[in-house]
Amino acid sequence: MQDEERYMTLNLQWKKRSSMETSQLKFKDSSVMLPWCKILLGISGTINGILVLTLISLCLLDLS
């Protein structure tokens, strides 16, 4: 009985520690990924802007 209580205590402590470590890793990963997301959003926004301008200019050329 005493061994079971010790096992349960150790098992709960390990689970708490591992969940804290994974949450810290997720936070670090998201903070590392944030600049890359901003860069990719900027690039995709620029490309979309160029495509919209091209579409508008092609429509205007087609009308004339």
Tens digits of residue pLDDT in 10-59: 565 555 555 555 555 565 666 777 888 999 999 999 999 999 999 999 99
Total count of domains within the chain: 1
Predicted TM-score (pTM) of the model is 0.50
For residue 54, the model assigns a pLDDT of: 96
Structural domain boundaries, residue 56: 1-64
Helices and strands (H, E) in the chain, number of each type: 1, 0
For residue 21, the model assigns a pLDDT of: 57
With 80 as the cut, is the pLDDT of residue 1 above it?
A: no
With 90 as the cut, is the pLDDT of residue 7 above it?
A: no
> What is the C-alpha end-to-end distance of the chain, expressed in Å?
90
